[in-house]
Amino acid sequence: MLTNHKFWYAVSGALILFGAAGALNIIIHGEHSMGTSNYVPWGALIAGYVFFVVSSTGLSLVAALGHVFHMKRFEPLAKRAVLGSIITLLMGFIVIGLELGSPFSMIHILFSPNFQSAIFWMGLLYGIYLVLLVFEFIFLLKDDHKKSRLFGILVLISAIAAHSNLGAVFGFLVARSYWTGPYMSIYFILSALLSGAALLAFMYFLVSKVKRTEDMQVEGSHIVSHLGKLMVLFLSITVFFTVWKILTGVYGAVPGKHDGIMALLAGPLSFQFYFFELGFGMIIPLLILTLPGGFKPARVFAAAAFALVGIFVMRIDLVFAGQMIPLEPVKGALLPQFRDWTITWAEWGVMAGAIGGAVLLYLMGERKWNLETAPHEEGEDEKAPVSVQLAKKA
């Protein structure tokens, strides 16, 4: 079933319909159809947006391993990863567009920019990143390795700039101790690597099954295994970051930050934190991959699927843990322990629709373009960094 084109078209169609209904509801009823409030102004669509743009950045970063850094085993990934990166970024834009109260006023970012605002930079940097990605993809399709590598480098730089700045959108918020500081920018980049590797493993496993050509099956299973190894590294990094975020939060009892961490550990977010963020997002995929035979493609696929669900919930936790702790401008005032929030069907719909849209666009891309990467010419190896050349000789 999973290897059938029609199945995926049907799934994406259904999700897009659900998404269209959700989007329409938000357009008509505005904030009333969302689970936000004056005290929790950023809702699930912010988490959804972060999920999609993190995926885009992650796909670009993992693509760069082969395409920019000449790690041979990842070279065949380039076209599919860059296409995936463009698509997930576009879906992210659609999701945030529906979260914004007046998206058409974005024009004022050009005429009245505030250079101090991280959201201004977010718009600018992701805009540049999208344009560069499109150029990279065009040159990849033409198998122009020289130009596509040049754009690959620019994409890498812009991806890191745009995505770490997205972390700063949260990190700059002095009012919300849970987010304040440089942690978010670093965490966003490193967790993007996990998103990218997991999404590519997920995609590549399915593509290798659907394509059914012998070359693709052999190549696909090799790549999926290698991505599994990368995932172990990136999962370990994510565990490391999560452990230290929790320990520093619990240790100091800093108002806001401590309460946010406790909401995850022993509060209203604890089930989704333990079960999805830690369980699905980190422990289960690590176990699947590190037990004997863990890098078999089907196992990597399963680990990637768990990780992707876990990463999505990680974004939900991140957005709400930072807002559900009431601000206390008047010390000692009577306040609820936690601010209420919810995820409405319209918000679920928009996020599901964006996933459907991504699947549909990807299927269309596979159909329209040849996404197999032609081998790099012999002479090009000499231009590879010395370390790579030495590694090859060894």
Structure token digits, residue 151: 């754009």
CB of 8 to another protein, least distance (A): 34
Residue type, position 290, single letter = T
- Residue 30 vs 375, nearer CB to another protein: 30
Name the residue nearer to another protein (CB basis): 6 or 331.
331
Closest CB to another protein among 154 and 318?
A: 318
Which string of b and e fits 46-77 if b means at least 16 CB within 10 Å? bbbbbbbbbbbbbbbbbbbbbbbbbeeebbbb
Count Cβ atoms below 10 Å from residue 391 Cβ, excluding itself: 13
C-beta neighbour count of 90 within 10 angstroms: 18
Smallest gap from residue 187 Cβ to another protein (A): 18
Comparison of 31 and 366: residue with beta carbon closer to another protein = 31
Minimum gap (Å) between residue 169 Cβ and another protein: 7
Nearer to another protein by C-beta: 36 or 85? Answer: 36
Which amino acid type is present at position 254? Answer: V
d(CA 8, CA 174): 44
Closer to another protein by Cβ: residue 130 or 325: 325
State which residue, 191 or 323, has the beta carbon closest to another protein.
323
Q: What are phi and psi of 37, to 5 degrees?
A: -150, 180
CB 157 within 8 A of CB 133: no
- Phi, psi (degrees; rounded to nearest 5) at 321: -60, -30
Q: Which helix (H) or strand (E) holds 340?
A: none
* Region of residue 334 (left: phi > 0; alpha: psi -120 to 50; beta: else): beta
**Residues within the interface to another protein (CB under 8 A):** 30-31, 36, 38-39, 41-42, 99-103, 105-106, 108-109, 112-114, 116-120, 122-123, 169, 172-176, 322-323, 327, 329-334
Minimal distance, residue 119 CB to another protein, in Å: 4
- Min. distance of Cβ 334 from another protein in angstroms? 5
Q: 10 Å Cβ neighbour count for 91?
A: 28
- Nearer residue to another protein within complex by CB, 330 or 386: 330
Least distance in Å: CB of 93 to another protein? 13
Give the integer Cα–Cα distance in Å for 27 and 346: 10
Q: How far is the CB of 16 from another protein (least distance, A)?
A: 24
Q: DSSP assignment, residue 143? A: T
User: Can you give the length of the chain in residues?
Assistant: 394
Supply the minimum distance, in Å, between the C-beta of residue 286 and another protein: 33
From the CB of 332, what's the least distance to another protein, in Å? 5
- Whole-number minimum distance, CB 50 to another protein, in Å? 14
Contact predicate 124/165, CB 8 Å = no
Task: Quickly count: other Cβ atoms within 10 Å of residue 296's Cβ.
Answer: 16
- Write down the least CB distance from residue 111 to another protein, Å: 8
Both structure tokens of 218:
């052999």
Q: What are the CA-CA distances from residue 364 to residues 12, 83, 263 (Å)?
A: 12, 11, 42
In the complex with another protein, the residue whose CB is nearer, 145 or 176, is: 176
Q: Which residues neighbour 81 within 8 Å (Cβ) at sequence distance 6 or greater?
A: 59, 60, 62, 63, 196, 200
- Residue 53 vs 284, nearer CB to another protein: 53
Give the Cα separation of 43 and 318 in Å (integer). 11
Q: Would you say 1 or 110 has its CB closer to another protein?
A: 110
